[in-house]
Amino acid sequence: MNGKIGLEEHFATAETLQDSAGYLPASSWKELSSRLLDIHGKRLQQMDEHGMEMMILSLNAPAIQAVPSPALANDMAIRSNDFLAEQVAKRPDRFQAFAALPLQDPEMASRELERCIQQLGFKGALVNGFSQVDSPENVVYYDAPQYAAFWAEVERLDAPFYLHPRNPVPSRAQIYEGHPWLMGPVWAFGQETAVHALRLMASGLFDRHPELKIILGHMGEGLPYSMWRVDNCNAWVDGPKAYPAKRPLGEYFANNFYLTTSGNFRTQTLIDAMLEVGADRILFSTDWPFENVDHATSWFDAASISEADRIKIGRTNAQKLFKLPVDAPASPDASRRMVGAHR
């Protein structure tokens, strides 16, 4: 399929580049760093060669979230967002943007989100997990009470919010001691993000703000296969509900969350996610530059799903969610002609 749109596609600035060091073997750093810093060169070439019309770009991780000073985090977010806006302006037909947000200070984050959506034309926000506030050890998750006004602003702006992974801080990562291979995308990323998402669901956030749209990568960070058990474990026990949310958490997952295929290129996993949340809530992504565009696209184009679902997941779901132009036809043949026209 041509005309695909990806929305977990990262870049780095010179200021944030080193945050991505260590996730891959040192022998891969030269290639990874060049991929992160490039936007209009090899990235576009890969997109053209593999049928990707557009990437929605986001800053690498943890970046803003790992800057304990709220003022410094805010300054870095503004600089990064301004840089990204300049890059998107060069090729808005091929790139759009997610805002980086200084959630160390919810009011600053709200102001920057409003600026990015209303002035810069960004399509939403991507935030790299919890924020470290005032000190590296003070870890804050976004179900905390101080984020109430921020979430109201996210809903008001109708801004999709991508909750992206990061590793736990070392003092909270004892389970991984002696097993560093479990950190990062192998395991720790998914576990950290899944728990954060469950905290949001259980907090009552979606009762207060039912129009919020949260995106999870990597086919849902394992949650599609766990939500039934989250709601139904020990069902024979008659006890009080342990959290404020009014409904079963699986209902929020089905109604307020979207999933992407980033870095999880397995058809059985895709089909199970489709059975859990429906094809209308799954969107194609690659996780470039940490994963290869060709690996993602070759798998997706051949996955044993219907062509109607392939077009939804590959293209039209993103158009609807992010209010992208829909003037170009979504059929495989038509989108092939359209992508060829950009070369």
**Catalytic center residues:** 287
| Cβ burial, residue 313 (10 Å; 0-12/13-18/19+) | buried
Angle separating helix axes 70-90 and 106-118, nearest 10 degrees = 10
Helix (H) or strand (E) holding 87: helix 70-90
Q: Distance (Å, rounded) from C-alpha 330 to C-alpha 174?
A: 48
101 phi, psi to nearest 5 deg: -130, 140
Give the integer Cα–Cα distance in Å for 127 and 60.
10
Q: What is the dihedral of CA 296, 85, 311, 226, to 10 degrees?
A: 60
User: 134 near 68, Cβ under 8 Å?
Assistant: yes
Tokens of 109: 């984050």
CB-CB contact of 10 with 288 (8 Å): yes
DSSP bridge pairs for 161: 125, 214
Tell how strand 139-140 and strand 131-132 pair up: antiparallel
How far is 342 from 282, CA to CA, in rounded Å?
Answer: 26
Three-point CA angle 157, 257, 226, nearest 5°:
155
